[in-house]
């Protein structure tokens, strides 16, 4: 595991943006609970419906009660009627377990849409939903991104994915 620091200084309102992230060469380096989330996300990914992009994405969400919720991308020929794995899992967690906070979100993917060595990163819509989920519960959500080459990036809060989030509470 390697700990990295990213720092960016905004020219707007003299704000500084920095965060650290953990980088793992392989998901085998993770602790057992995180390995379980990766395994569950892979299980969800294998059940994704992605006949158009051929890019399957799976997500697993660990809740404060220990429950693990799964989501995968669901495409539709009437684009943009589909939904990303992250939002499927987060919306399901909110609908079925509204009083449980989200502790960790794990995301995996497979397909030619993104090169195998490229960073797996949630789309803008998912980042906004992730950020609002964190804001609603007022507790950071840890994120585990497993790239197609099995390298892992882990961050302690979804706010690091969208520094200019939409909404009055999110833009602080």
d(CA 32, CA 142): 16
Clarify whether 134 is annotated catalytic. Answer: no
- Residue ranges of alpha helices (H) inside the chain are 32-46, 85-96, 124-137
Q: Which residue has the tokens 């804001």?
A: 135
Tokens of 102: 């989200």
> Of the listed 16, 43, 75, 86, which one is catalytic?
86
d(CA 157, CA 137): 12
CB 24 within 8 A of CB 45: no
d(CA 61, CA 40): 9
Give catalytic residues, as residue numbers.
86
């Amino acid at each position: 595991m390697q700990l990295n620091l990213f720092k960016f200084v905004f020219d707007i309102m003299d704000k500084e943006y920095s965060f650290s992230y953990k980088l793992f060469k392989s998901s085998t380096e993770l602790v057992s609970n995180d390995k379980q989330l990766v395994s569950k996300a892979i299980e969800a990914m294998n059940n994704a419906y992605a006949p158009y992009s051929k890019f399957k994405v799976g997500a697993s969400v660990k809740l404060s009660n220990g429950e693990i919720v799964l989501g995968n991308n669901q495409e539709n020929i009437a684009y943009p009627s589909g939904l990303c794995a992250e939002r499927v899992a987060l919306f399901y967690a909110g609908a079925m377990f509204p009083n449980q906070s989200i502790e960790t979100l794990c995301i995996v993917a497979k397909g030619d849409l993104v090169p195998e060595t490229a960073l797996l990163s949630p789309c803008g819509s998912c980042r906004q939903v992730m950020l609002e989920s964190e804001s609603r519960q007022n507790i950071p959500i840890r994120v585990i991104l497993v790239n197609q080459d099995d390298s892992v990036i882990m961050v302690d809060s979804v706010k690091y994915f969208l520094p200019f989030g939409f909404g009055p509470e999110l833009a602080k």
